[in-house]
Amino acid sequence: MLRFFAVLPLMTVFAASALACGPETDCVIDDRSYRIRMPEGHQGQNEVGAIVFAHGYRGTSEGVMRNASLSKLASNLGVALIAAKTLGDDWSIPGVPSQNENDAIDELVYFDRLIADATTRFPIDPQRLMATGFSAGGMMVWNLICHRSEAFAAFAPIAGTFWVPEPETCTSPPASVIHIHGDDDPVVPLVGRPIADTAQGNVFEVIDMYRRFGGHGETSADTFDGLRCENSVNADGHLMNFCLFSGGHSFEARFVRHAWEVFTEVGRL
C-alpha cells in the first residue's frame, strides 16, 4: 500500500507531462498540432469560450501566440486563444495553388480533431467558439463556414475568400458571419485576382451567395471604429455582416474584438 501511494506522485507528473502544452508548446494531435493560451488568471475551474485563429500563408501557431495585441484581447475578453497550424506552408483547401502538394490533407477533419482535443484537455465551452483568421487563414475560415458551420457559434474571416470556382451553395446550415476586408487590398482584392493556374474568388459574389443561401433580407448600414458595415439577419437570427475598412491587406486585433462583441451582443457567444 505504501509503495502504491509513493508511485502516485510520479504518475501525476507523467500525466501532467503528457498533457502539457500551451502558448509555447505544441498540443500534438497525431501528425498535426495547435497552440493555446488560456485567459490570464484563469484557474481552470470554469469553462470559457475560445477564439480559434487560422494563420496566413507560411504563418505558424507560434507566430499567432507572439501577437501580443491578439493575446491581450482574448485575455481581456476572458476567452482562450487557440492557434491552428497548417501541415505545410498553406491550408489545403479547394483551388489553392499549393493543392497538388497537399491534396491528401483534409483540413475539415483537422479542425474536428482540434476542437475535440482542446475541449477535452482544457475547460473550453464548445458552444462558445468563434473561428477567425487572416488572409489564407480567412480563406480557411470560409471553408469552415460552408462545410463545418455547426462546429462553431460564429465566424469572422478577415481578408480572405474562396478560390475559384466560388461555391454556389454550402453543405452545412447557415451560420453567423462577419467578414472584414480592406477596401484597397492588393493581396486579396475584393474582386479577386489570378495566381498561377488558379484565382482568388470575388468577395462580393461570395457575400451575395451566402446571403442567398442563408435567406437574408435587406441590408442596413452601420459604422463602428473605422469599419463600414452592411448588416443583414435571417429569420433564425444569423448575421451576415460585410465590413470594410480604409486600407490594404492588414490585420488588427480590433477586428476580432468587433466580431466577438457583436456576436456576444446578439446572443451567439
Q: Is the pLDDT of residue 231 over 90?
A: yes
| Domain residue spans of the chain | 2-265
Sheet holding 27-29, edge to edge: 27-29, 32-37, 80-84, 48-54, 124-134, 154-158, 177-182, 240-245, 227-231, 220-224
Q: For residues 198 and 193, what is the distance between their CA atoms, to the nearest angstrom?
A: 9
Per-residue model confidence (pLDDT) at position 97: 87
Higher model confidence: residue 20 or residue 209? 209
Per-residue model confidence (pLDDT) at position 3: 44
Per-residue model confidence (pLDDT) at position 15: 39
Weakest-pLDDT range from 22-31, 67-76, 94-103:
94-103
User: Which stretches of the chain are DSSP H helices?
Assistant: 2-19, 61-65, 68-77, 107-121, 136-147, 203-214, 253-265
Per-residue model confidence (pLDDT) at position 143: 97
pLDDT band at 103 (very low <50, low <70, confident <90, very high): low
Q: For the purposes of burial, counting CB atoms within 10 Å of the CB of 23, is it exposed (0-12), middle (13-18) or buried (19 or more)?
A: middle
CATH code assigned to 2-265: 3.40.50.1820
pLDDT band at 81 (very low <50, low <70, confident <90, very high): very high
Task: Give the pTM.
Answer: 0.91
